[in-house]
Amino acid sequence: MQSKEEKLCCSSDQEMDKISWLPDPIRSHIVSFLPMKDAIRSKILSRRWRYVCSSLSNLKFDQIEFEKSNSEIRDFRDFVDETLLSHDGSDIQRFSLKINLDDAYIYARRVSAWISFALQHNVQILILGSVESSALLEKLPCSLFTCNTLRVFSLVGIPGPKWPTITKFPVLRSLRIGFITSFDDENVIAKLFSSCTFPVLEELTVDHCIFESLDTLSISISSLKFLYLRYYTARSSFDDT
């Protein structure tokens, strides 16, 4: 006769077996709610789970999670590389990357490759965050700034970004720029916040940003519905045209 513990174990195994035979898109959706480390670990459950892990459409890489588990920065880099290498080539809906580095020269090249990977797989939501990494944005691929699949873009914690002279996000609906301490090209900024760059943008958040070269911050985006300004600084004022 089975003990209570054995019955619970059997019940748990049966439930896991039921989940294992769900359609791949459903299992992929379930796994997408897990931290990336746990999501990747799920591939050891069975061969069917291995295929699910290689087709994740929601990729979230957070260095802080690795620091909490006493992992090295190098381990974090390798983890991202290995995860992307094992991807089956399907589209990526959301790609989130949050890092904390002081020396970004070598690291930035890998970041550029990771972002390029997301862009090549038709990413729709891109979340980028960094702390004290001024080299990071300079190394981002130019294709990011003309991406025709990106609908949501968040760029937070880049000390001195240099936007390309050619910038256009044809389908971007939501943009957040946060904790950026220096925009040093007035012409680029003037073009940045315009309908030419964002023809369908509906929501714009400018959070803790400093525009050193501007007397007036001018935003001229005809499609804009929601504008959030928090602790921005220009030399003079703000003009919403």
Q: Rounded to whole angstroms, how far apart are CA atoms 32 and 46?
A: 17
Read off the pLDDT of residues 54-92 as tens digits, 9 standing for 90 and up.
Answer: 778 889 888 877 777 666 666 788 888 988 998 888 899
Neighbours of 198 (CB within 10 A): 25
DSSP 8-state assignment for residue 199: T
Q: What is the pLDDT of residue 236?
A: 47
Q: What is the chain's length?
A: 241
How does 66-102 read in b/e, with b if 16+ C-beta sit within 10 Å?
Answer: beeeeeeeeebbebbeebbeebeeeebbbbbbbbbbe
- Show Cβ contacts of residue 52 under 8 Å, excluding neighbours closer than 6 positions: 24, 27, 28, 31, 42, 43
Q: What is the pLDDT of residue 7?
A: 44
Q: What is the pLDDT of residue 209?
A: 80
Whose tokens are 């390029």? That residue is: 116
Residue 2 binned pLDDT confidence (cut-offs 50, 70, 90):
very low
Whole-prediction pTM? 0.78
What's the mean pLDDT when you consider all of the chain?
A: 75
* CA torsion angle 215 216 217 222 (round to 10): -150
Residue 8 binned pLDDT confidence (cut-offs 50, 70, 90):
very low
More confident residue, 180 or 73: 180
Q: Rounded to whole angstroms, how far apart are CA atoms 192 and 189?
A: 5
